[in-house]
Structure 1
Amino acid sequence: MALSQLSQFLSVEKGVGPEGRIAVVRFDRGDGLNALSPEAMRQLTAVARSFEDDAETSVVVLTGSAKAFTAGFDLKDAEGRARKEMDVGSLRRALKVGPRMTRAWQEMEQITIGAIEGFAIGGGVALAVALDFRVMAANAHLRVPEIGLGMNMSWQSVPRMLHLIGPARTKQAVILADQRISAQEAYEWGLVEEVAEPGKAFDAAMALAEKVARQPPISVAMTKLTVNRLAHALDDLASHMDGDQYALATMSEDHTEGVAAFRERRKPKFRGR
């Protein structure tokens, strides 16, 4: 087995499981939140791309910390906060980091499995639905708070969620921004494939990974490619503007109010402007 440390919060372990065909990517900032700063997203993109020519790995398990998969975009990160002062061109370029990350994970040839403990929020849900499978601890939850902050759900997450849970559930998950989606609800909706005992999501994900790792690697990779191409054929057409919509939404008064209310721990007063 080979273990590499990409940063202080991201590590990769290869050569695990049957014939050493499983790799484990651990994202842990050590703060209980595991928020996605732009630098964290660049690291997650780089690690996904590092598997492009890896013929020895059939399955990649992505896990967070024991307390959180990820709390989503880091609202306190200095680089992220600097977006407020950017011109439109600079902002459009800066906003590519998120969709670039989720696309990199979706397009991996290896089967990808997310192990979710604690919670996955916003961008954490976006990352999770870009994977092939998701295993969730029974006491964990998901939440998509973007609309409650005066933004829209982007990173091509809406079509990915639509494929998994259908239009009504996607609207419910995204529009009802304060709603926590429990592990049992996520399973019943089809948002996750398995619910594990608390603290055992990673073990359950590894058990699933071992089943995949025992299958013929080339056939598995080709089947994944076929399914993804069919399922996601129109995703770019449907959501090619979601980054620009996000940029537009963040320029609204409602966004300013939503973020202020979040920080002040009060209910926002949206005015549609």
Structure 2
Amino acid sequence: MADFVTIEKGQGPEGRIAVVRFDRGDGINALSPEALRQLTDAARSFEDDAGTSVVVLTGGKDAFSAGFDLKDPEGRARRDMDLGTLRRHLKLGPRLTHAWHEMEQITIGAIEGFCVGGGVALAVALDFRVMGRDAHLRVPEIGLGMNMSWQSIPRMLHLIGPARTKQAVILADQRISADKAYEWGLVEEVADPGHAFDAAMALAAKVAAQPPLSVAMTKLTVNRLAHALDDLASHMDLDQFALASFSEDHKEGVAAFLGRRKPRFKER
């Protein structure tokens, strides 16, 4: 089984920075079920790591992630699953974003190229995001007859507010440039093309120089206050996703995507 994720610990000042690299080497970095599992395991591997206070998550040089892998055999098998089996399989995504969101370490995403769908869901589960100036974000789920899930809607809402969240999610074909993402508050820093990782490491070094216990407790306090009602508001998004996946519009959306044509939705 291929390793899509590598972890390098002991980086930066006092060795308190770790780098997690997600790179499938294919230029698009799609999130197959196996990639979701490996990224979840990577986040969980820091649970008892007192020596690391900052984790930088980076993708490939051409792409952070193209989102869920619609062509992966395990992923495509969802089409034939009964509802119970499908619900269990759909937990892979929220399990991933929850693992990264709940980490005690400060997390920073370095985004180059493009960050799409599930890639955006992962990025907004982090504490900070740094983006190359020529990179872009896109949330295509609705255009595929699905809904944006993995509990990312409330996370986006906290970052950019209700109208921008609707704009980003509902206008599925809209690319969000790095400058626009910065203007909206979706990313914290824009770097020169190809230098998002360097900028993320510079930010990580500043965080790593702070007292680790105070940093961890502050992160926990902010997260608990900001996200107190998130689970109440978004616990249904998995079931909404499952429901949407049985719709004709979803089948049409995926067929149109794979066939590179414009979909025709009929509200059924």
Q: TM-score, normalised to structure 2's length?
A: 0.99
- 1:136 partner letter: M
Q: Following superposition of structure 1 onto structure 2, how do residues 45-84 of structure 1 map, counting pairs within 5 Å?
A: 45-84=40-79
Deviation, structure 1 residue 7: 4.8
Q: 2:197 aligns with which of 199, 202, 221?
A: 202
Aligned match of 1:255: 250
Q: Secondary structure at the match of 1:112?
A: strand
Deviation, structure 1 residue 266: 1.1
In the TM superposition, what whole-angstrom CA distance separates every residue of 1:217-251 from its partner, at most 9, and x where no partner exists? 00000000000000000000000000000000010
In the TM superposition, what whole-angstrom CA distance separates every residue of 1:7-30 from its partner, at most 9, and x where no partner exists? 532100000000000000000000
Root-mean-square deviation (Å)? 0.8
Aligned match of 2:36: 41
Q: Secondary structure at the match of 2:115?
A: strand
In the TM superposition, what whole-angstrom CA distance separates every residue of 1:245-266 from its partner, at most 9, and x where no partner exists? 0000010000011111111111
Aligned match of 2:208: 213
Q: Secondary structure at the match of 1:202?
A: helix
Q: Secondary structure at the match of 1:142?
A: strand
Quote the Cα distance in structure 1 between the aligned partners of 2:49 and 2:245: 39
Quote the Cα distance in structure 1 between the aligned partners of 2:72 and 2:254: 14
Aligned match of 1:224: 219
Aligned match of 1:88: 83
Q: 1:31 aligns with which of 1, 11, 26?
A: 26
Is 1:240 paired with 2:235? yes
Q: Secondary structure at the match of 2:174?
A: coil
The 8 Å contact of residues 160 and 184 in structure 2, kept in 1 or not, is answered as yes
Structure 1: which 5+ runs fail to align?
1-5
Quote the Cα distance in structure 2 between the aligned partners of 1:265 and 1:12: 36
Structure 2: which 5+ runs fail to align?
none
How many residues of Structure 1 are paired with residues of Structure 2 in the alignment?
268
Q: Secondary structure at the match of 1:24?
A: strand
Q: Following superposition of structure 1 onto structure 2, how do residues 160-199 of structure 1 map, counting pairs within 5 Å?
A: 160-199=155-194
Quote the Cα distance in structure 1 between the aligned partners of 2:78 and 2:2: 24
The 8 Å contact of residues 130 and 187 in structure 2, kept in 1 or not, is answered as yes
